[in-house]
Amino acid sequence: MPRLGPALNLVAAVLVSAALLYAAFFGAGPLPALGVAFNPVTGAWTMAADASSNGAQTLHLKGLTQPARVVLESDGTAHVMAATDHDMFLAVGYVHAKFRLFQMDLLRRQGEGRLSDVVGKAALDSDRFELQLGLLRTAQLEWSQLSSSDPSRDALVAYAQGVNDRIDEAESQHQLPAMFTLLGYQPQHWTPIDSLIVKGDMTQTLNFTDTPLVMALLEKSLGHDLTSEWFAVLPPNQQSPYDPGPYPAKATLEQIPPLPVAQAQLNKVAGDSMASLYQRLAALPAGLIATGGASNNWAVAGSHTASGGALMAGDPHLHLTLPAIWFQLTEDSPGYHTSGVSIPGTPVVLIGHNQHISWSLTDAQNQQTFFYVEKEDAAHPGQYFWNGAWKKYGTVSYDIPVLGASTDHLTVKYSVHGPVISERGLTTTVWWAGNIPSQDLGVLMRIGQAANFKQFRDALRDWHSPTHNFVYADDQGNIGLISAGYYPQVAQGQPWLPMPGTGEFDVTGTIPYDDIPQVYNPPSGVVWSANQRQVAGDYPYYIGTASNFFDPGYRANEINRFLGQNKKFTAADMMALQTDTRDYLASEIVPLLVNALSSENLTGNEVAARDLLAGWDDRMEINSSAASVWWTFWQEYLAATFDPWWKSHNVKVDRAELNDALGQDLEAWSLRDPTNPAFTLIGSAQSARDVMVASFRGTVALLGTRLGSDPAKWSWGRIHTRVLENLAQITGLNYGPLPDRGDANTPLAAPDFPSTHGPSWRMVVDWGAGTFSGIYPGGQSENPASTWYTNRAATWWDGRYAPMLDFTGASASPGAVTWSLQS
Amino acid sequence: MSALVRFITVLVAGAAISLLGILIGAWWLPFPVGVAAGVVLVRPRWVLPAGALIGLIAWTIPLVSAQLQYGLGPASLSLAAIMGFNGAATIPVALTLLVGLLLGLTGAWVGAAARGLVRPPLRPVQKLADQRLKVEDPVLAKR
């Protein structure tokens, strides 16, 4: 007891106690509410109980009309069997929430601009941007436009009920995911609009781009001629379009189907204004702006396979997180028999198969984001000039609650083109196809029920955004590929730049559905997409530029090369191609480099490095030292060629951000135009050969400094790693970083250092053998204490697969448990 | 009732009440129970240990139970990672027990301080003097 007078003692005791109780109830600074968070019964320790709570049990769910069952395989794959479609969607909602509630809450908060409410000011820029862009407004419109008889309405309502059944149960049993406890909040009930928001998040991640702003900055610094040459509409390098034509004649203006939102050349863009907006967007958290896609899918017709049935493979490449974006399940009800992966927060299988067809998707990469500079003047405050008249901006206001700070007030202005996204210098609005309400969920439901290509294609007619390459294969040996979605067309102008908003340059409509890229049972017997430009140069419509819209095409070229072999393919071949590490670009450039070095006086290490390349198989394997030499060389070559231009022209865009486009140029010049003037800015260099030799010498010096003097020990795995990142950015809960194979050009995509993006789900279907296989990195549970948090990671990392069982097969599988669901 | 018996009684009862409270979500109960213990216990030297033990026992038993039922290793490692102490699984356990302990301890301190305001406890010096008096005064002892 302190030696204090009684009164002073009491005061001290009360003050110390008050401080402790405050910290226990409310937290202090970075500390969570210690009592709430760490008490052993209702605090974060409940993650231990949650991790053990997946055994056989009977559960009572409100809203269930008949008993249903959920079978969980030993790896956590969920199989839902219900007597009605309503009950099936309700059970899926419950299962998603049981394993991914915190992830679902984060996803809806991101899209609704409500992250600051739980994480504070750090998320305010993201919230303000999201509310400006308008995912919430779009979701609300989509919901209001759903007719009461639309099956997707019932699916969304039932799904929300299932999620809320789990929220109520978790709250009553103190089983909310630990992150809620640690962050000190409870999830609100789920609504159908939340599911539509989650869909909007994905659309934004894949398809909202800032490329027109980048192009405007390039025009301002490099000038029109260089920008047009280096960042051309049509790619300068070899491509593998899956739909090579012939194409239908271009529709007339009158034949272009209009889009629900009326839409709009900028003679001279005010560069500072665009730079400001570009910088603002660049500073947003990763994932809000699409930065180029990387996914693969392909199919082989039954006539070209060993089993006699069609083969299909799909691996969408996304940010690899823990928990993953995917949740694997099967849905069985009178109306649906689908198996595959779903996105928690949405009730349907997005990629998978039913009893007759299978499908997967890659991002189509066409331009769906357009920027407009609105014409204003001081005599017309609050108005913009459009189609010959002054119009008043619409406004909508939001209050954004901010944890630990006062509520932020935001007023969003919008014109006919879309929301005002910047008012610095010039008022810029953004037209984004993702802001057009579309009932994509209903499309997925109809795909899930399709039994043939006609039904599949008919369903996709209503798919709008993001534009995806949907690959198809069926149990009759047929294959197809459709790049479904909106392809906005402008009346005139250069849509890859910000355009004036005065009306003449508005979006007038979209390419007619029959004219969009698509093939069905092509003579080659194979179809494939890897974010490449889907069509050849004579396609009559504008769909986007080579720079930052479409992938350079190396993965597509490699897939095309592989599938072009004269053989009968097997599922094992599909798996081998999904984990293929052959760098197509390297296969083109390395022989040129080795040849260029043949007449040079080289040092010992340079000779060793050259010999490594000369004997290399172009595969980016962990143990390959040649892979390190190649990749480092290519970066040096890019830098040596373009950095002097960047410096001399004071280009404000990070050159590395444009490596895909510049690499295509460099590839094309190296192969076919080695004396391009681009090479002449560097010292005494006059040709590609000069720059290649200098870059190679720089590469050997750099690797020697970094990895030691022995080139044989410069293995790729020493510099190239991959990590599965915890969704809440808690590095201690990551998987990795670990050495890994692949690079940005290989079918097994592994861009960046460490690589955080890649094949988020691999699926291979053999309709002839009746086998379905799939794997994603991570696990079914978001609970880090659960064995299902990372249990699939090693399997995925090694390039292995798990069988995709149906309900019956799953029920009989070793270690499976059954949940009986009762009303 | 001797001081030891009273101490043990208060400790067992306080820990039991706190534990029951925690089991129904009232994790903060060691604090008011500690206050009560501080008021009830007369001997000052027993007060803070009693409060601390009440909080510690009440928070330890459910933790041990969870360990026996589910195993706390993965959860502990996960919490350590969330706290930024990768691999240090003992830190969340220690923090948890510390919070429980402090709740009881501060409660007991408040209780004892409040009691002291109304009725000051016997001072150690006075108690020692009384004992010496008993030993050193045989006459008085004979009476």
3 state DSSP class of A11 = helix
Chain A residues near residue B44 by CB distance under 8 angstroms: 1
- Taking CA atoms, what residue in A is nearest to B94? A38
- Taking CA atoms, what residue in B is nearest to A732? B81
Answer yes or no: is pLDDT of B96 > 60: yes
3 state DSSP class of A701 = helix
Confidence of residue B48 (pLDDT cuts 50, 70, 90): very high
A147 in Cβ contact with A183 (< 8 Å): no
Of A1, A20, A41, which has the smallest distance from its Cβ to B27's Cβ?
A41
- How far is the alpha carbon of A7 from chain B, nearest alpha carbon, in Å? 6
Chain A residues near residue B97 by CB distance under 8 angstroms: none
Q: Checking DSSP bridges between strand A817-822 and strand A57-60, what pairing results, if any? A: parallel
A691 backbone dihedrals φ, ψ, rounded to 5° = -70, -35
Rounded Cα distance, A114 and B112, in Å: 46
End-to-end CA distance of chain A: 58
Mean pLDDT throughout A374-384?
93
Whether chain B has a CB inside 8 Å of the CB on A379: the answer is no
Confidence of residue B129 (pLDDT cuts 50, 70, 90): low
Q: Supply the pLDDT for residue A287.
A: 65
How many C-beta atoms lie closer than 10 Å to residue B132's C-beta?
A: 10
Q: Supply the pLDDT for residue A425.
A: 77
Distances from the Cα of A34 to the Cα of B26, B27, B100, angstroms = 14, 11, 10
Q: Checking DSSP bridges between strand A78-82 and strand A327-332, what pairing results, if any? A: parallel
Nearest 5°: the CA angle B15, B93, B27 is: 40
Rounded Cα distance, A407 and A398, in Å: 10
Listed residue (B83, B62, B73) closest to A179, CA to CA: B83
Rounded Cα distance, A428 and A444, in Å: 34
Mean pLDDT throughout B79-91?
93
Structure tokens belonging to residue A749? 């995509």
How many domains is chain B partitioned into structurally? Answer: 1
Answer yes or no: is pLDDT of A130 > 70: yes
Chain B residues near residue A785 by CB distance under 8 angstroms: 74-75, 77-78
Neighbouring-strand partners of residue B115: none
**Side-chain half-sphere CA neighbours of A151 within 13 A:** 18
Structure tokens belonging to residue A752? 């960046």
Listed residue (A674, A660, A709) closest to A595, CA to CA: A674
Residue pLDDT, tens place only, A569-601? 999 999 999 999 999 999 999 999 999 999 999
Q: Supply the pLDDT for residue A264.
A: 32
Q: Which helix (H) or strand (E) holds A325?
A: none
3 state DSSP class of A659 = helix
Q: Supply the pLDDT for residue A32.
A: 87
A99 in Cβ contact with A72 (< 8 Å): no
- Taking CA atoms, what residue in A is nearest to B80? A732
Q: Checking DSSP bridges between strand A296-300 and strand A507-510, what pairing results, if any? A: unpaired
How many C-beta atoms lie closer than 10 Å to residue B138's C-beta?
A: 8
- How far is the alpha carbon of A784 from chain B, nearest alpha carbon, in Å? 6
Listed residue (A214, A281, A201) closest to A465, CA to CA: A201
Mean pLDDT throughout A130-150?
92
Of B31, B79, B113, which has the smallest distance from its Cβ to A10's Cβ?
B113
Q: Supply the pLDDT for residue A3.
A: 53
Mean pLDDT throughout A50-67?
94
Q: What is the DSSP letter of A481?
A: E
Q: With an 8 Å Cβ cutoff, are A38 and B70 in contact? A: no
In which domain, by residue range, is A615 found?
A: 584-714
Whether chain B has a CB inside 8 Å of the CB on A188: the answer is no
Chain B residues near residue A787 by CB distance under 8 angstroms: 74
Rounded Cα distance, B75 and A440, in Å: 39
Structure tokens belonging to residue A822? 């009762």
Starting at the edge strand found earlier in the chain, the sheet holding A802-803 runs A526-529, A296-300, A311-315, A762-766, A771-775, A802-803
3 state DSSP class of A768 = coil
Q: Supply the pLDDT for residue A288.
A: 66
| Inter-helix orientation angle B73-83/B90-118, to 10° | 80
Q: Supply the pLDDT for residue A547.
A: 76
Answer yes or no: is pLDDT of B140 > 60: no
Of B84, B110, B117, which has the smallest distance from its Cβ to A7's Cβ?
B117
Show Cβ contacts of residue A641 under 8 Å, excluding neighbours closer than 6 positions: A662, A666, A678, A679, A682, A691
Rounded Cα distance, A429 and A413, in Å: 9
Residues B41, B46, B52, B53, Cα dihedral to 10°: -90
Q: With an 8 Å Cβ cutoff, are B113 and A6 in contact? A: yes
Q: Which helix (H) or strand (E) holds A421?
A: strand A420-422
User: Does residue A668 lie in a domain region?
Assistant: yes
Chain A residues near residue B82 by CB distance under 8 angstroms: 44, 178, 182, 730, 732-733
The rounded mean pLDDT for chain B is: 86
User: Does residue A645 lie in a domain region?
Assistant: yes
How many C-beta atoms lie closer than 10 Å to residue A433's C-beta?
A: 26
- How far is the alpha carbon of B142 from chain A, nearest alpha carbon, in Å? 37
Mean pLDDT throughout A138-144?
93
Q: With an 8 Å Cβ cutoff, are A1 and B102 in contact? A: no
- Which DSSP string corresponds to A114-176? -SHHHH-GGGHHHHHHHHHHTHHHHHHHHHHHS-TT-HHHHHHHHHHHHHHHHHHHHHHTT-S
What ipTM did this prediction achieve?
0.88
Confidence of residue A169 (pLDDT cuts 50, 70, 90): very high
Listed residue (A353, A202, A350, A344) closest to A781, CA to CA: A344
A79 backbone dihedrals φ, ψ, rounded to 5° = -125, 115
Whether chain B has a CB inside 8 Å of the CB on A49: the answer is yes
Whether chain B has a CB inside 8 Å of the CB on A8: the answer is no
Q: With an 8 Å Cβ cutoff, are A41 and B81 in contact? A: no
Q: Supply the pLDDT for residue A4.
A: 55
3 state DSSP class of A502 = coil
Q: With an 8 Å Cβ cutoff, are B74 and A38 in contact? A: no
A796 in Cβ contact with A776 (< 8 Å): yes
A277 in Cβ contact with A429 (< 8 Å): no
User: Does residue A532 lie in a domain region?
Assistant: no
3 state DSSP class of A253 = helix
Answer yes or no: is pLDDT of A233 > 50: yes
Q: With an 8 Å Cβ cutoff, are A17 and B82 in contact? A: no
From the number of C-beta atoms within 10 Å of its C-beta (0-12, 13-18, 19+), residue A148 rates as exposed
Q: With an 8 Å Cβ cutoff, are A49 and B70 in contact? A: yes
Rounded Cα distance, A159 and A291, in Å: 32
Answer yes or no: is pLDDT of B142 > 60: no
Of B59, B102, B114, which has the smallest distance from its Cβ to A40's Cβ?
B59
A615 in Cβ contact with A719 (< 8 Å): no
Single-letter code of the amino acid located at A261: V
Q: Supply the pLDDT for residue A667.
A: 97
Q: Checking DSSP bridges between strand A369-373 and strand A735-739, what pairing results, if any? A: unpaired
Residue pLDDT, tens place only, A422-481? 887 789 999 999 999 988 999 999 999 999 999 999 999 999 989 999 999 999 999 999
Of B47, B99, B110, which has the smallest distance from its Cβ to A17's Cβ?
B110
- How far is the alpha carbon of A345 from chain B, nearest alpha carbon, in Å? 25
Answer yes or no: is pLDDT of B121 > 90: no
Q: Supply the pLDDT for residue A423.
A: 80
Chain B residues near residue A174 by CB distance under 8 angstroms: 25
- How far is the alpha carbon of A31 from chain B, nearest alpha carbon, in Å? 9
How far, rounded to the nearest angstrom, does the alpha carbon of residue A125 sit from its chain's CA centroid?
A: 21
Distances from the Cα of A45 to the Cα of A165, B52, B54, B67, angstroms = 22, 21, 20, 10
User: A809 or B138: whose pLDDT is higher?
Assistant: A809
Rounded Cα distance, A126 and A204, in Å: 13
Confidence of residue A549 (pLDDT cuts 50, 70, 90): confident
Mean pLDDT throughout A680-696?
87
Listed residue (A793, A801, A663) closest to A740, CA to CA: A793
Mean pLDDT throughout A742-771?
96
Answer yes or no: is pLDDT of B1 > 70: no
User: Does residue A696 lie in a domain region?
Assistant: yes
Mean pLDDT throughout A646-674?
94
Q: Which of A9, A17, A119, A724 to mutate to test the interface with B (most CBs of B within 10 A)?
A: A17
Among A4-8, A81-85, A273-277, name the most confident range.
A81-85
Of A25, A48, A730, which has the smallest distance from its Cβ to B81's Cβ?
A730
How far, rounded to the nearest angstrom, does the alpha carbon of residue A466 sit from its chain's CA centroid?
A: 11
Q: Is the peptide bond before A759 cis (omega within 30 degrees of 0)?
A: no
Confidence of residue A263 (pLDDT cuts 50, 70, 90): very low
Mean pLDDT throughout A701-729?
96
- Taking CA atoms, what residue in A is nearest to B85? A732
- How far is the alpha carbon of A167 from chain B, nearest alpha carbon, in Å? 17
Of B45, B103, B116, which has the smallest distance from its Cβ to A9's Cβ?
B116
Q: What is the DSSP letter of A724?
A: E
Distances from the Cα of B25 to the Cα of A382, A506, B62, B66, angstroms = 55, 60, 12, 15
A334 in Cβ contact with A428 (< 8 Å): no
Listed residue (A173, A45, A181) closest to B100, CA to CA: A45
Listed residue (A439, A477, A447, A472) closest to A338, CA to CA: A447
Q: With an 8 Å Cβ cutoff, are A38 and B69 in contact? A: no
The rounded mean pLDDT for chain A is: 93
How many domains is chain A partitioned into structurally? Answer: 1
List the CATH number of the domain containing A591: 1.10.1400
Answer yes or no: is pLDDT of A104 > 70: yes
Whether chain B has a CB inside 8 Å of the CB on A396: the answer is no
Residue pLDDT, tens place only, A173-213? 888 999 999 998 999 999 999 999 999 999 998 888 888 98
Q: With an 8 Å Cβ cutoff, are A52 and B70 in contact? A: yes
Q: With an 8 Å Cβ cutoff, are A38 and B99 in contact? A: yes
User: Does residue A92 lie in a domain region?
Assistant: no
User: Does residue A821 lie in a domain region?
Assistant: no
Answer yes or no: is pLDDT of A816 > 70: yes
Of A13, A43, A47, which has the smallest distance from its Cβ to B113's Cβ?
A13
Q: Supply the pLDDT for residue A289.
A: 66
Chain A residues near residue B22 by CB distance under 8 angstroms: 39-41
In chain B, % of residues over pLDDT 70: 82
Rounded Cα distance, A418 and A502, in Å: 13
- How far is the alpha carbon of A740 from chain B, nearest alpha carbon, in Å? 23
Whether chain B has a CB inside 8 Å of the CB on A6: the answer is yes
Where do we find the tokens 């009592």?
Answer: A35
Q: Supply the pLDDT for residue B125.
A: 53
Residue pLDDT, tens place only, A769-790? 999 999 999 999 999 999 999 9
Rounded Cα distance, B19 and A648, in Å: 73
Q: Which of B57, B109, B122 to mutate to test the interface with A (most CBs of A within 10 A)?
A: B109
Where do we find the tokens 């798990």?
Answer: A802
Rounded Cα distance, A341 and A353, in Å: 10
Chain A residues near residue B120 by CB distance under 8 angstroms: 6
Where do we find the tokens 């919230």?
Answer: A127
Structure tokens belonging to residue A469? 């390459």
- Taking CA atoms, what residue in A is nearest to B43? A1
Answer yes or no: is pLDDT of A23 > 70: yes
End-to-end CA distance of chain B: 25
Distances from the Cα of A747 to the Cα of A563, A621, A668, angstroms = 13, 13, 21
Mean pLDDT throughout B41-45?
83
A359 in Cβ contact with A484 (< 8 Å): no
Which of A4-13, A139-148, A341-350, A361-370 has the weakest average pLDDT? Answer: A4-13
Q: With an 8 Å Cβ cutoff, are A10 and B31 in contact? A: no
- Taking CA atoms, what residue in B is nearest to A13? B110
In which domain, by residue range, is B113 found?
A: 3-142
Mean pLDDT throughout A134-159?
94
Chain A residues near residue B30 by CB distance under 8 angstroms: none
Residues of A574-583 as b/e, b for ≥16 C-beta within 10 angstroms?
Answer: bbebbbbbbb
Show Cβ contacts of residue A503 under 8 Å, excluding neighbours closer than 6 positions: A264, A386, A387, A388
Q: With an 8 Å Cβ cutoff, are B63 and A40 in contact? A: yes
Q: Supply the pLDDT for residue A175.
A: 87
User: Does residue A10 lie in a domain region?
Assistant: no
